[in-house]
Structure 1
Amino acid sequence: MKAEYHAALDWLYSFVDYEAGQRPRDESRYDLRRVKLFLERLGNPHLKARTVHIAGSKGKGSTAAMIFAVLREAGYKTGLYTSPHLIETYERFKIGDHFIGEDEFIVEVQKLKPIVAEINDQARYGELTTFEIMTVLAFDYFANNKVDWQVIEVGLGGRLDATNVVEPNLSIITTINLEHTDVLGDTIKEIASEKAGIIKAGVPVVSAPQGEDATGVIRSTCHKIASPLRVASIEAMTRSSFNGGFQMFNILGRHNIYDIKLPLLGTYQRINCAVAVAALEALIDQGVEGITKETVERGLSRTDWPGRFQVIDRGPLVIVDGAHNPASSMELVNSLDAFLDADMMPHPAVLVIAASADKDVTGMAEVLAPVFDEFVVTRTRHPRGMDVKILGRAFEELGRKVNYTSTTAEALVFASQLAGSEGLVCVTGSLFAVGEALEIRPNRAAG
């Protein structure tokens, strides 16, 4: 890796990075006027491509990856901007088959540096943050490469997120639940209001099925600004089967019945897939050419989105999944039941878990403790990692014996020894833990 690339990364992370530390609730910390000013200096690159903008509490990255894959299959040069990354920063910026290269990243940083310095020196609207600079970098990278479409995942919330400067062709809101309450609000209504902040006047909206409170907020927002709303249907889906590294089921859309062959094995991906299909059919309704039953099916079958209920080894069976709250933990358990055919759970079943400091680990433990035989608690390298004693106590209070380790690598070695060749190791609790597991043990179970 080039020294210049390391220097570019060091510069990027030298600014305020709310992903690494406490996120403030103070709205003034998220002033989009400085992002707009930055983009104006670059000729507004965010407006150069057609855009799909995606917010939500769960599944927005998976949904983004699916739509990206289908737009590519339909013949469009497509960019994908997501967060956080699993292992390396460059994973956030993708065009077609390729992540941004080191040389491209260096060129972008050298271009942005003087503009960032000027804006921050003036500080008219506060200083730019790491995520804001990353977001502008993504837009400029896509514009320079003349993408036809850009699929943009919201970082946090929606209304005040740095990505919310786009003028989208379609807005999507995936499943909403309680998350980041220190920033977004303490109720589903408050959080839904932040997510609904991406809705633009007259721009079509596709939503996952939501609870009553979230549905009310989204419908009200769409009604006020005349944005057509379509809620993805999940009733007309067949049961999943699993074969050859794929999850297979059928979705009844408005235009077609789709035979889905998805390389994402978590059963929770069914809802994300239904949202993606509804979104793609909304683009068909807008006259976007090339999106057909065939390109939808082929694109979905080629979706690449690692770290979400992914089998990375066998003997023992090792599954990684970025479940980071009680609802996601329950979806992990349901996915294990479906994938392993309910009563075929390998034993010993060993849970490796790390979490960020702001997570509801008591609720997660209540879901996960009854399912596993052994528990290995660890901490990731991430600055917001939770202290192992606090995390472990959540399981000990439920009467479980906890094994403590200081790194993900140590935890994986120890868990594999506990599981033996016939058991199961499941790594979860945060995407950071999953990323470290993938870094340590590259996928040896592909196909």
Structure 2
Amino acid sequence: MTQSGIYTFSEALEYLYSFVNWEVERHVRYSPEVMTLDRPRRVMEAFGNPHEQYPILHITGTKGKGSVGAMVASALQASGLKVGLYSSPHLQDFRERFRINNALIPEDEFTLLVNDMRSVLDTIPDITWFEVTTALAFLYFAREGVDAAVIEVGLGGRLDATNIVTPVASVITSISYDHMHLLGNSLAEIAGEKGGIIKPGVPVISAPQPQEALDVLVRIAAEQHAPLTLVGRDWLFEPGALSPYCQPFRAGRAGEPMREYATGLPGEHQAINATVALAALDTMQQAGVGATQAGTQAGLAGVDWPGRLEVVERKPLLVLDAAHNGESAQRLAAALTGVFDQRPIAFVFGASADKDVSGMFDHLLPIADYLIVSQAVHPRALDPHEIRNIALAHGYRRPIEIIPDTRVALERASELVGEDGMICTTGSLFIIGEVRSVYGLPAGHVPRASRVPCAPASPEV
């Protein structure tokens, strides 16, 4: 790479990773002095504030924000709109973070954008990697003329680089414990950070929340005069029969007849996420960003979001799930025992050093016949021996093996469970990405050949 220009995608990535990256390095401080919104605002101003050129849905939360964002984007796309989706982290390919109508940003377009932005970025001291990627997404969507964009928060909300937007609506998915060393040790503190995306007068949609978190969100919304729509109160839902490949459900505004829907993401918790998406789409429609009823039903059913109870193999059954805290592990365990009947169960488990492995094991170990501890090739990956020690401290006395290499770990798990058993890989998005690459799965997509059509029992169009 020369000083005069960046000519290849790999050079563009190399330049990008020259900025401090809090996804790789543990944050030292999470404060306005370190995580300031001034830097991303300066970049956007230099390019004419591209994030103000299209309507935005802004999403935060601890769990489900990726699924909700993918559902909303899918519904808008199926309704005929050109939709940008910015999400993080990626599973296999960095370009997964930047999508238009679910297509990953082309390498040459990414390289061109980095070149165009470089002269500005080099003048802003201390700008971070995520601030740069966020600015790149905003500029990319503007240049491509999207009709709307779905923007996912990277961390927290209040101080996140994405929080320079004024969206048509803000969404807060389920709040639970994660990143406590940054966001706080209570649900109230975490909710305060997440609720920092609520803007004056901008409608906010919330998933059902623990009371401690909900009280904070209600207070912030009132202070900002932001109308609050709460799923479970203002929008109601009823999950349908469990299925390994999709989740049927009924949903609608409180006091109105419910409609039949299905989402291509299985698990009862996805009925909650899908209802949040429906409430968000309804609010966007009131702001002039309309999804049709047919597009909404088709978009929810056809949503493409890997690593969420994703079935990769059938003999033995191999399920990938991105659960990475205690509450998401609880939902995963419920789905595995309620949806699938393959036995025995082997977990191929890896985690990042800042995750609550003990909380995850509270729910996973009781259903595990075998535990294989692996390790993603990532600087934040927790040492497998520490993970084994946590399992032993939980009183787990079934077989445990440490096999850092993901491919070898999968082969061993297959030997242990046999054709009639189940392997579940979980604990880390990085592990999920590695497994998908081992199986040659396309980055950012669930192969159509492996998907089962998902439709509500009584579709309404």
* TM-score after normalising by structure 1: 0.94
Please give the alpha-carbon distance, in whole angstroms, between the structure 1 residues aligned to 2:24 and 2:289. Answer: 39
Is 1:56 aligned to 2:61, yes or no? Answer: yes
Query: Which of 261-270 and 103-112 deviates more?
Result: 261-270
Deviation at 1:369, TM superposition (A): 1.0
1:79 correspondence with 2:111: no
1-structure distance, mates of 2:388, 2:267: 26
For 1:26 and 1:259, locate their aligned partners in 2 and report how far apart those are by CA, in whole Å: 43
Asked whether the 8 Å contact 2:347–2:423 carries over to 1, the reply is: yes
Match status 1:405 vs 2:409:
no
2:96, 2:289 → 1: CA distance? 27
Q: CA deviation at 1:26?
A: 3.8
* Structure 2 Cα separation of the partners of residues 187 and 338 of structure 1: 31
Which residue identity is paired with 1:84? Answer: P
- 1:8 maps to 2:35: no
**Contact 2:239–2:247 (CA<8 Å) still a contact in 1?**
no
1:102 matched to 2:100? The reply is no
Q: Equivalent residue for 2:116?
A: 111
For 1:75 and 1:171, the matched residues in 2 are separated by 22
Q: How far apart, in 2, do the equivalents of 1:111 and 1:236 lie?
A: 46
Whether the 8 Å CA contact 1:72–1:78 is kept in 2: the answer is: yes
- What's the CA shift string for 1:364-384, capped at 9, x where partnerless? 222111101111001101110
What is the aligned-residue identity percentage? 40
Q: Which residue of 2 aligns with 1:123?
A: none
Q: Name the structure 1 match of 2:164.
A: 165
The aligned counterpart of 2:444 is: none
Alignment of 1:206-217 (within 5 A): 206-217=205-216
Distance 2:253 2:242 in 1: 20
Alignment of 1:193-272 (within 5 A): 193-233=192-232, 235-242=236-243, 245-253=245-253, 257-272=258-273
Counterpart residue type for residue 279 of structure 2: A
Q: CA deviation at 1:284?
A: 2.8
Show structure 1 runs of 4+ deviating over 4 A: none
Matched residue, 1:365: 361
Once the two structures are superposed, the pairs formed by residues 320-359 of structure 1 within 5 Å of their partners are 320-340=320-340, 344=341, 346-359=342-355
How much does 1:274 deviate?
A: 1.1
- How far has the Cα of 1:71 moved from its partner? 1.1
Question: SS in structure 1 opposite 2:243?
Answer: strand
* Aligned-partner residue type, residue 225 of structure 1: Q
Equivalent pair of 1:396/1:402 in contact (CA under 8 Å): no
Partner SS state of residue 201, structure 1: coil
1:395, CA displacement in angstroms?
1.4
- Post-superposition shift, 1:399? 3.1
Amino acid at match of 1:259: E
- Residue 235 of structure 1, CA deviation: 4.9
Q: What letter corresponds to residue 211 of structure 2 in structure 1?
A: E
Q: Give 1:253 deviation, angstroms.
A: 3.2
Task: Provide Cα deviations, 1:320-370, integer angstroms capped at 9, x if missing partner.
Answer: 001111111110011112312xxx3x2221110000001111222221111
State whether residues 189 and 214 of structure 1, in contact with CA within 8 Å, keep that contact through their aligned partners in structure 2.
yes
**Could you tell me which amino acid in structure 2 is paired with residue 292 of structure 1?**
T
- Assess if the C-alpha contact under 8 Å between 2:237 and 2:271 holds in 1: no
Instruction: Give the equivalent residue in structure 2 for 1:124.
Output: none
Counterpart Cα distance in 1 of 2:419 and 2:180: 41
Q: 1:322 is aligned with what amino acid?
A: A
Distance 2:180 2:242 in 1: 36
Gaps of 5+ in 2: 1-5, 442-446, 453-461
For the 8 Å contact 2:83–2:147, the answer to whether it is kept is yes
Q: What is the CA-CA distance between 1:211 and the residue it aligns to?
A: 1.1
Amino acid at match of 2:260: D
Task: Report if aligned partners of 2:7, 2:111 keep a CA contact under 8 Å in 1.
Answer: no
Tell me which residue corresponds to 1:187: 186
State the alpha-carbon separation in 2 of the partners of residues 435 and 279 from structure 1.
29
CA RMSD in angstroms comes to 1.6
| Structure-2-length-normalised TM-score | 0.91
Please give the alpha-carbon distance, in whole angstroms, between the structure 2 residues aligned to 1:264 and 1:109.
34
Q: 417, 421, 439: which is aligned to 2:437?
A: 439
Residue 417 of structure 1 aligns to a residue in which SS?
A: helix
Whole-Å separation in 2 of the counterparts to 1:379 and 1:150? 34
| 2:137 counterpart of 1:138 | yes
* Alignment CA distance shift 1:326-1:94 (3 Å): same
| Structure 2 residue 433 is the aligned partner of structure 1 residue 423 | no
Give the partner amino acid of 1:381.
V
Tell me the distance in 2 between the aligned counterparts of 1:310 and 1:253. Answer: 30
Q: Answer whether contact 2:240 2:247 (CA < 8 A) is retained.
A: no
What's the counterpart of residue 317 of structure 2?
317
1:416 aligned partner, one-letter code: S
1:401-427 deviations in Å (ceiling 9; x for gaps): 310012212211111111211110000
Query: Secondary structure of the residue that 2:415 maps to in structure 1?
Result: helix
Q: Which amino acid aligns with 1:316?
A: P
Q: Please tell me the residue identity of whatever aligns with 1:68.
A: A
Does the alignment pair 1:284 with 2:289? no
Q: Which deviates further from its counterpart, 99-108 or 413-422? A: 413-422
Once the two structures are overlaid, the 10-residue window that deviates more, 107-116 or 249-258, is 249-258
Asked if structure 2 preserves the Cα contact closer than 8 Å seen for 1:237 and 1:252, the reply is: no
Deviations along 1:103-154, one digit per CA (max 9) or x if unpaired, are 001101101111111113xxxxxx1111110000000000000111010000
Name the residue aligned to 2:23: 19
| TM-aligned CA distance change 1:236 to 1:301, over 3 Å | closer
Distance 1:47 1:287, change over 3 A: closer
Distance 1:98 1:388 in 2: 35
Checking the alignment, whether the CA contact within 8 Å between 1:241 and 1:249 is kept in structure 2 is no
**1:154 aligned residue:** 153
1:193, CA displacement in angstroms?
0.4
Partners of 1:256 and 1:314 in 2: CA distance: 38
Q: Which moved more, 1:417-426 or 1:48-57?
A: 417-426
Q: Aligned pair 1:304/2:304, yes or no?
A: yes
Contact 1:267 1:338 in 2 (8 A): no
CA contact (8 A) 2:205 2:228 kept: yes
Q: CA deviation at 1:446?
A: 3.3
